[in-house]
Amino acid sequence: MENAKYLEWITKDLEDKDLIEELNAVKGNEEEINDRFYRELEFGTGGLRGVIGAGTNRMNIYTVRKATQGLANYVNDNWSDGAVAVSYDSRIKSDLFAREAAKVLAANGIKVHIYRELMPTPCLSFAVRELCCQMGIMVTASHNPAKYNGYKAYGSDGCQITNETADAVLANIKAVNEFDDVKVIDFEEALQKGLISYIGDEVKEAFYSNVLSQSLHGDLVQKSGFKLVYTPLNGTGNKPVREILKRIGLNDVTVVPEQEKPDGNFTTCPFPNPEIKEALALGLKLCEETGSDLLLATDPDCDRVGIAVKYQDEYKLITGNEVGCLLLNYIASQRKELGTLPKNPLTVKTIVTTSLIDCIAAEYGVEVVDVLTGFKYIGELIGKLEQKGEENRYIFGFEESYGYLSGTYVRDKDAVVGSMLICEMAAFYADQGKNLVDVLNELYAKYGYHLCTQKSFAFEGEAGMENMNAIMQSLRENPAAEIGGIKVARFNDYKKRLAKDCLTGRQEPIELPSSDVLMYQLEDGCKAVIRPSGTEPKIKIYYFVVKEHEASARKREESLNEDFTKLLKL
């Protein structure tokens, strides 16, 4: 029996000819049809993300229109004169999906502010606030492989929508048929009527000004004589990152030519992720050729940045956890030195981010707040501080996956300000005869070697999704008493919002929103956090080990990974 949704789609006069070809190509293949139609692409707190193609479980103009119609209904139910900002990255069909979203919003009487060209995610967050919009849409799949695209939804605070708003938007989306219930207007007609307008250069300039306001020692960059290799990984960072670096006086910047221009196929880096060494291969090669001091790489939507540092004639990759610790140490120490550290300063990190941050923060009297995985929760906390008139307490926030934010001008991670501060920090320490690896080693010598690693296990298709859910349910219902011969001292179930002291049996509530995450604290001080990815069909395990030296930390991490792989039966 053929899938009813497939039959509905194949009988429609579809506007995108790519979809018609794909639907005809899978005709009669039940497995392929089911994979495209067994569910609707899930709209969570991060919006949509999926493989580009035909079907309800794919990213295409119809799933984008359906989501946008639901979002438009939500806006019109809550505001009489709504406005939405729209931006997009370099991915395949990102510009098309952005225009389709704008057409639906305009057809529903909602004012649309859209960038003329691709722009980073933080620029969308900024535009929402700067233009007093009720919501925002960013078309991106961040660092996913080329076959993916996505759609992030933002609230009026410039932060990705969190649980309550996402549930309300989702309810509206579910009530919409992607063909019969969607209003659409011609893009050019909407422009002429003033329903759609392009975001002007004054907004970009205001964004740059806010980024530059986070500088602490910008004058040192030009004096440093630093040589930099930069790669935007064929994404949105090319213009804004280079503009900011130019404004702080960093003139010797060599851009990886193969990765300079926007290209959603990512032919030289199949995984355009600055966490992955392979994505940085061309940049590292160019560093060797030019003798540069630093490699800087931003992901396609330019909200995350990775680096490699020249150290003893080699280039050492620095992890997201390590860069975050270096930045907090730099910001806190220098703001204290300059007398600009606020009263009761505060830094924010996620529950899967290194505890080294706690050691650094304690030295400078900075409060550390832990939030769930996802930068939207850091943005949400900034908003709560703002409501109390305390936003100046926030000095820095970051997550282990290479996302950083200094300042409160946006409510999402920002690789533009991250790039600026990394280069400035490197110049500051170079002025003292040190590089970033030297400073990192000093932190480890002072506080112990904090090793944080992550392993991922993929679960493709419907069967994979069911298996992933079954694994998480089994772990939750049958919590392990010991792992690898070491007793579990504490077990946190963030979905049930309960923390259990396994030695005393005492339970206490977790004051965070419900989330499908489990944390195991072992008696030897090691920790592991397990969660399904919010953007990919994967289970992720994060390991945390603190030892005096790196060698002993890595040996313990290896055994920890073996033990947990057995526990998950993977």
**Strand, helix or coil for residue 352:** coil
Give Cα 381 to chain centroid, integer Å.
Answer: 16
Indicate the burial class of 183 (C-beta count within 10 angstroms; 0-12, 13-18, 19 or more). Answer: middle
Where do runs of H (alpha helix) occur along 79-218? 94-107, 121-130, 163-174, 187-192, 201-212
138 in Cβ contact with 124 (< 8 Å): yes
CA distance 145 to 248: 33
Token pair, residue 99, equals: 């225009």
Q: Are 350 and 377 in contact (CB under 8 A)?
A: yes
Query: Residue type for 319, please?
Result: T
Going by the DSSP 8-state scheme, the letter that residue 38 receives in this structure is S
Those residues whose C-beta lies under 8 Å from the C-beta of residue 13, and which sit 6 or more positions away, are none
353/486 Cα distance (integer angstroms): 23
Provide the 10 A C-beta neighbour count for residue 355.
18
The residue from 94, 142, 224, 419 that is catalytic is: 142
Q: With H, G, I as helix, E, B as strand and everything else as coil, classify residue 97.
A: helix
CB 376 within 8 A of CB 162: yes
At 87 the three-state DSSP class reads: strand
Biggest CA–CA distance in the chain, Å, is: 72
HSE of 240, CA atoms in CB hemisphere, 13 A: 34
CA distance 561 to 570: 11
**Checking DSSP bridges between strand 486-493 and strand 518-522, what pairing results, if any?**
antiparallel
355 catalytic residue (yes or no): no
Given phi > 0 = left and psi -120 to 50 = alpha, else beta, which region is 359? alpha
Tokens of 220: 């040192």
Catalytic residue list: 142
